[in-house]
Amino acid sequence: MSLSKFVRLRPQDHKRGHLMARFTYKGRRFIHGRWFKVDASLARELENILQPAGKFADPPLAFDVVANEKEAVALEKREKAARKRGSARNPFTDLRTTDLTAGDAEDDEDEDEDEADEAPPAKRAKPKARTSKARGKSRAS
9-35 confidence digits (pLDDT tens):
998 887 888 889 999 999 999 998 899
| CA distance linking residue 65 with residue 12, whole number of Å | 16
pLDDT for residue 105: 47
Query: Residue 67 has what pLDDT?
Result: 95
Predicted local distance difference test score (pLDDT) of residue 137:
58
Domain boundaries, the chain: 4-85
Please identify every stretch of the chain with a pLDDT value under 70, giving residue numbers as ranges.
1-2, 87-141
What is the structure's pLDDT at 92? 43
**pLDDT score at 83:** 83
